[in-house]
Chains A and B, each alone.
Chain A
Amino acid sequence: MANLTLIQAVNDGLRTVMKADDSVVVFGEDVGPKGGVFLATEGLTADFGESRCFDTPLSEDGIIGTAVGMAMNGLRPVAEIQFQDFIFPAFDQIVSEAAKLRYRSGGQYTAPMVIRTPYGGGIRGGLYHSQSGEAYFAHTAGLKVVIPSTPHDAKGLLIASIQDPDPVLFMEPKALYRAVKGEVPEGEYTVDLSTLRTVRQGGDVTIYCYGAMVPVVERAAAQAAEQRGIECLVVDLRTLMPLDEEGVLEAAKQTGRVVVVHEAPRFCGYGAEISALIAEHCIEYMEAPVRRVTGFDTPFPNTLEHHYLPDDRRVLDAIEAVYDF
């Protein structure tokens, strides 16, 4: 075991699979000698050579399009999109190509590849270095969407994603890159995709969250227990597509009071899917309406980002609202 930050765990995960599997190649903008703008790929070119970790020209469309070609022809590409905000020139390649290749070729061609990309706010990045676009991608049939929130899960989910036979969008909460540290096993291990993580046990209110919102929710849950004696069941979804629906419903039934937290905008956000699932399948267990705590339906501001991002104050407000309903 080593005590690593989330970004170190990503680096460790990449090294682990690159050692075990020669077909894994890592590429993107500035991932080579510079080691990526966040240093996720630091040292990989030096240790594995330029054929295994390399820089590309500045084209997200080119990065993802060539990854699809490599994937269909025996490589396991791990492509980095420098900021999730920059992914949109590649939207066509992701949504219409990578995600649909298996289906449209009747399974003859596939695209087992991983797109790693830092997402979310908290670094004063303004509207083009802060977005959380998971809903666009979770809506896409044929694409898996994974978001870790701990160093342990970052490594285990990343290795599982690279070994997965389908394309995976692996969204890394950049606000947590260096803000969280934890025990990470050495060598190869996986965390199964489509499994939930119970962060905190409690019988009063169920809170669903993922990525950078997990520590925020943990703080709010601790405050709710301390200040009001409200015990929250906190669930880290960690794979948004395909979702462990049974696990989600089970957690809702345990308390009958639900809060969903994400930093992406509310309208058609991931929280809407969770709310709809609960409304469709276990409304009879509900003691209060579902509450969503989300980013606002505006672009992401810069100076005022701390007002835009859900914080423990807002989560606590929602916990009390569903509890007191």
Chain B
Amino acid sequence: MTDMLTVLAPDGATKKGFEADLPDAELLHCYRTMLLVRSFDEICLKLQRAGRIGFSIPNLGIEATQVGAASALRESDWIFPSYRDFGMALYHGIPAVEMMHNMFGNAEDSAKGRQMPVHFSFVEPIHFYSISSPIGTHLPHAVGAAHASKLRGEDTVHLVSFGDGGTSSLGFHSGMNFAAVWKSPVVFLCQNNGYAISCPSDHQTASDGYAVKAEAYGMPHATVDGNDLFAVRQAVLEAAERARRGEGPTLIEAVTFRMGGHSTSDDPTKYVPAELVEEWKQKDPVDRFRRFLERKGLLTPEQDEAMRADTLAEIDRAAKAAEATAAPGLETIFSDVFAEVPNHIRKQGEFLFDLSQRRGEADAGDGEFPL
């Protein structure tokens, strides 16, 4: 593999000469955001196991990639996320309760309960683009949105995040090719987390890592330690600055590891060797950053304990608030298909309201999600 940029060692020591370019409060915000992601995962797993939500996507092991990348963006920039990226939204101040509304698919959910859990969509305070389940479809969207920004003379950067599996999609090729030809202000962030559901990297690509694929498109690339928040931040900052200067896109490969399953419906022990998980535990991104903060005198074990309890409580409150919120109204089935509800859809809605009056409401299923 190409040289991998690492700044932060597993023991929390930084490379000689490295100075964090973030103020202390920001460093603590990065850490707290990673803890929020971890707390969110922990509570969602419990909710899913208790049958209170249908599905969740764990982020264990990739928190530093999310937060490091987000920290390099401005609020005017756009994020085109995969379904394992919501730490980026949390970093930029989107409240956890907004995400919990989506997990419960309730009336307050920004997607009005239409999407599966973890398919977030936000426009404030940062554009966190609506997530689609099909893989790689959002890469060309990021390029098109970036092209629009460029045509208007804005210095907005568009970061698009995807997994190793995403590089096999049609959208990867089209997106990379168009962005390079148009010199679009895009940062392509490939989170190589080892597995695409159960498919390991050596079944996904025969190339030496994923970053090198950029060469064929005429695009610069970087490979970074995805469990090192500073390395990810530095690479994304450099790519974003290049993009702002009009020098076009960059492909960044963040090498990390999905320490949990693909989702709450997946049993990774069937295909991930236990020793591999053990090996990556030693490189845990959150522990690594905690050790850095401790060395720098910014965090004591007691403060860490308190922060963990605090983030867990924050997510717990968000979950309780979301669970107590009503389901979306029946009309949300029929709205937003078009800007205006066409006649045939309006009639179908009226039929459903009438039927519910005459014959009672439909029974809720107990569908369990398998993926």
Contact = CB atoms under 8 A, between A and B. Distances in A.
Given A129-B369, A301-B333, A311-B363, A57 B115 contact: no
Contacts of B54: 124
A125 B204 contact: no
A49 interface: no
Contacts of A122: 365, 367
Contacts of B197: 29-30, 34, 37
Nearest to A118: B370
A306 interface: yes
A20 interface: no
B226 interface: no
Given A32-B198, A298-B333, A313-B360, A303 B271 contact: no
Given A297-B337, A311-B362, A313-B359, A57 B370 contact: no
A308 interface: yes
B300 interface: no
Interface in B40-56: 54-55
Interface string A115-148: 0000001111111110000000000000000000
Contacts of B370: 37-38, 123, 174
Contacts of A35: 270
A95 B27 CA distance: 53
- B contact patch SS: loop
Contacts of B282: none
B123 interface: no
Nearest to B197: A30
B328 interface: yes
B369 A125 contact: yes
Interface residues of A, number: 52
B166 interface: yes
Interface string B341-363: 00011001100100110111111
Contacts of A58: 135-136, 165-166, 168-169, 196, 199, 204
Interface string B132-149: 111110000000000000
A297 B333 CA distance: 10
B11 interface: no
A285 interface: no
- A contact patch SS: loop
Contact of A57 (B203, B327, B337, B349): B203
A303 B333 CA distance: 10
B371 interface: yes
Nearest to A58: B165
A66 B19 CA distance: 51
Given A302-B115, A303-B113, A89 B169 contact: yes
A58 B195 CA distance: 11
B182 to A, nearest CB: 23
Contacts of A33: 198, 270-271
B280 interface: no
Given A128-B132, A302-B113, A297 B165 contact: no
A304 B352 CA distance: 12
A126 B116 contact: yes
Contacts of B106: 303
A108 to B, nearest CB: 29
Contacts of A299: 114, 337
B161 to A, nearest CB: 16
A57 B367 contact: no
Contacts of A301: 113-114, 332-333
B205 interface: yes
Nearest to B53: A124
Nearest to B337: A298
A58 B266 CA distance: 17
A304 B205 contact: no
A222 to B, nearest CB: 16
B154 interface: no
A55 interface: yes
Contact of B371 (A62, A129, A296, A307): A129
A306 B365 contact: yes
Nearest to A175: B367
B119 interface: yes
B203 A304 contact: no
Complex A-B, nearest 3 residue pairs according to Cβ-Cβ distance, in ascending order: A303-B113, A128-B133, A303-B105
Given A58-B204, A123-B369, A298-B348, 16 more contacts: A32-B198, A34-B198, A34-B271, A56-B203, A58-B135, A58-B166, A58-B196, A86-B134, A123-B368, A125-B116, A127-B115, A128-B115, A128-B133, A304-B327, A313-B355, A317-B355
15 contacts: A35-B270, A55-B198, A58-B166, A59-B168, A125-B367, A127-B115, A267-B344, A298-B345, A299-B337, A301-B113, A302-B114, A303-B114, A306-B363, A307-B362, A311-B363
